[in-house]
Amino acid sequence: MSDNEIIELFIKKSENAIYEAERKYKSYCYSIAYGILNNHEDAEECLNDTWLAAWKTIAREPPNNLAVYLGRITRNGAINTYKKRNCQKRGNGAFEVLLDELSSCTLNIDYWDEYVESKCIQKILNEFLSKLNQESRSIFIQRYWYAKSIKDISDDFQMSESKVKMQLFRSRKKLRKMLVKEKILYER
């Protein structure tokens, strides 16, 4: 079933909408949630929240790209779950490593969350990603959007872990330079 047909089902409030969305995007959304949470039960719960959120929101504001829309709902839900779990001292620290890696490119994490939602930062991030070569862009997205481990990325791209780390380091350095240029961050 096409994305437009699934969106139509959501608009019509057909129960098949959730079934079709889950059938088509479950593994994609699960990989996002699990990459952040590193816990099967929490990832499954996050998926249930994704389908419910899609049910509640798509009829009001149909997305242009269903996969991206569901992925964003999943990612935001997983990050919120991670924050709650981490606050309760149950987290294993995998996502914390990603935040630490990006710390040179961010301000206060709460402030950053609000800033990321703005159109300004989206434009800057899109411009930054468009300036990276395809390999660097893919590695950056795999690491910081899908929360994949360095080892998994090195396996996927058939390169050493040290090369992946170096590419990520260089990409973060370019992002920081762009954020400083755009006056989002200030030179340290």
- Helices in the chain by DSSP H: which ranges? 3-11, 16-37, 40-57, 66-87, 94-101, 109-117, 119-131, 134-144, 150-157, 161-181
Which residue range(s) make up the domain with 130?
94-181
Euclidean distance between CA atoms 127 and 21, whole angstroms: 30
Same domain, 81 and 99: no
Domain boundary among 66, 87, 108: 87
Query: Are 101 and 67 in the same domain?
Result: no
pLDDT for 108 equals 45
Contacts of 65 (CB under 8 A, 6+ apart): 3
CA 139 to chain centre: 13
- Tell me how crowded residue 162 is: count the other CB atoms within 10 A of its CB: 10
pLDDT recorded at residue 20? 96
Question: Which stretches of the chain drop beneath a pLDDT of 70?
Answer: 87-100, 102-119, 185-188
In this structure, are 128 and 81 located in the same domain? no
pLDDT value of position 147: 82
Cα 44 to Cα 76: distance, rounded to the nearest angstrom: 14
Shared domain for 176 and 110, answered yes or no, is yes
Tokens encoding 184? 């989002």
C-alpha of 187 from chain center: 27
- Which of 87, 110, 135 lies at the terminal end of a domain, its last residue? 87
Give residue-wise pLDDT tens across range 43-63.
999 999 999 999 999 989 899
pLDDT for 11 equals 94
Place of tokens 């249930």: 48
